[in-house]
């Protein structure tokens, strides 16, 4: 065990905030060293308290704003600054989306060595109550004598003491105390580590992770919670295969896509976009950009439960969706059947492995929809020219990997970046979702 003492933190100082990092923190330099300052905005002068010293950078917290930026607003949530669920509520929403667009432009230039021929208008929906999927932490705190339900404190492993959440759908966000009080009365209150929230256009499902079997009295408490507040309660005693609804609580979750006449069904723990209103705008834009025609074949890679595949199939001649998770492929196939779609089929494959022998690789495709995880789609890009792909719509949840993949597509594989823009899937956070269109350059 080391006896070395931790270096004491310097005293508070006044600094000028030069910019905002991609993580939403103010950036300043002091004595030539970069310092990241929580809750400070570009153009502000703040009194900063150091919170951490590193070799190449320091970290701090704005304890007083001496000169206020014009884009600063009063946070709507009383827990802002403590809860780690949001970090940009002090920044005007219009400025948030502007900075996200600047972030995307920066990584395209710095990492991708590319620039779009045109910028798409940002996609923006409602700023509050938008989250319909979430994983809430649960903890019985002995010192407080009660249970906490919500998100973790910023920068700590502890749960924030929340009374409400402004970004969760009101069905849940306005009832955090109700949930906490119900768990307080369970005999296994210290054996419930999390609640999974899932809802689409209809009912709200709560999946309670339980580390010990609930008693009959516990089940009665959950039943009353459901009856009083309109929840459907499920239990999860192990892996996802153990999830089961309480008697009479089983419900079919779904979201509708009225412009293309689709109803998408999903299970509580299956991946869907958290922001339903923005998802609809995103699908509209993807369809407009790819503009699939009745004589075209479209490949949807990382297709999930068919969120893009089935809308594309309403216009294209044929759509093939590929996804690694067998359960999602089964769900996509069932959604196609439910909606009367016969020109879409779905295949299971690890898209980060060798695809040479995959049967769906034997045909040619006119267009591709890419919707990869944060790690990006680099491993599949080299296949696209061989498949005859002329257009690629790339939906990204991480701008740096999109920029890296754009570099490969444009500077090595013969595509050009036609257009790109950001989507405000997670307002009041620094998370950047974006969409880009690539076209094959004619030789």
Which residues have a catalytic role annotated? 397
CB atoms within 10 A of CB 356: 7
* Sign of the CA dihedral running 412, 417, 423, 429: positive
CB atoms within 10 A of CB 262: 23
Q: Are 301 and 380 in contact (CB under 8 A)?
A: yes
Which tokens in the block code for residue 260?
A: 């293309």
Backbone φ and ψ of 14, nearest 5°: -100, 135
Q: Are 147 and 141 in contact (CB under 8 A)?
A: yes
| Percent composition of the chain: helix, strand, coil (DSSP 3-state, to 5) | 25, 30, 45
Which tokens in the block code for residue 315?
A: 């216009």
- β-pairing, 19-20 vs 146-150, is unpaired
Q: Please count the CA atoms within 13 angstroms of the CA of 365 that sit on its side-chain side.
A: 25
Q: Please count the CA atoms within 13 angstroms of the CA of 176 that sit on its side-chain side.
A: 26
Q: Are 310 and 345 in contact (CB under 8 A)?
A: no
């Amino acid at each position: 065990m080391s006896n070395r003492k931790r270096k004491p933190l310097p005293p508070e100082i006044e600094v000028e905030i030069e910019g905002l990092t991609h993580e939403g923190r103010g950036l300043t330099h002091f004595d030539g060293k970069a310092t990241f300052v929580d809750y400070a905005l570009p153009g502000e002068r703040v009194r900063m308290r150091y919170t951490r010293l590193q070799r190449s950078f320091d970290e701090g917290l704005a304890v007083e704003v001496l000169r206020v930026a014009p884009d600063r607003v009063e946070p709507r949530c009383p827990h802002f600054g403590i809860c780690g669920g949001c970090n940009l509520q002090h920044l005007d929403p219009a400025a948030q989306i502007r900075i996200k667009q600047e972030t995307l432009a920066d990584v395209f230039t710095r990492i991708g060595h590319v620039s779009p021929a045109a910028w798409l208008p940002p996609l923006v929906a409602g700023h509050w109550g938008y989250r319909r999927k979430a994983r809430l932490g649960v903890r019985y705190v002995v010192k407080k004598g009660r249970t906490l339900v919500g998100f973790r404190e910023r920068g700590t492993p502890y749960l924030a003491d929340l009374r409400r959440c402004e970004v969760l759908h009101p069905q849940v966000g306005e009832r955090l105390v109700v949930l906490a009080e119900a768990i307080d009365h369970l005999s296994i209150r210290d054996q419930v580590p999390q609640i999974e929230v899932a809802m689409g256009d209809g009912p709200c499902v709560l999946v309670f992770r339980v580390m010990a079997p609930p008693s009959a009295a516990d089940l009665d408490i959950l039943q009353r919670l459901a009856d009083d507040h309109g929840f459907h309660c499920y239990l999860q005693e192990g892996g996802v295969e153990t999830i089961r609804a309480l008697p009479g609580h089983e419900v079919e979750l779904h979201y509708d896509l009225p412009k293309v006449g689709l109803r998408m069904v999903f299970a509580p723990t299956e991946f869907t976009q958290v922001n339903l209103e923005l998802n609809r705008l995103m699908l509209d834009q993807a369809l407009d950009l790819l503009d699939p025609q009745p004589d075209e074949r479209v490949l949807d890679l990382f297709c999930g439960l068919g969120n893009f595949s089935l809308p594309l199939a309403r216009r294209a001649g044929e759509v093939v969706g590929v996804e690694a998770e067998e359960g999602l492929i089964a769900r996509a196939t069932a959604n196609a059947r439910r909606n009367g779609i016969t020109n879409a089929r779905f295949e299971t494959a690890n898209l980060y492995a060798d695809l040479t022998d995959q049967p769906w690789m034997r045909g040619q495709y006119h267009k591709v929809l890419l919707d990869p995880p944060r790690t990006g789609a680099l491993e599949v890009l080299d296949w696209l020219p061989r498949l005859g792909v002329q257009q690629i719509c790339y939906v990204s949840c991480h701008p740096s990997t999109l920029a890296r993949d754009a570099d490969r597509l444009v500077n090595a594989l013969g595509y050009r970046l036609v257009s790109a823009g950001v989507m405000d899937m997670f307002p009041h956070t620094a998370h950047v979702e974006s969409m880009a269109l690539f076209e094959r350059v004619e030789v």
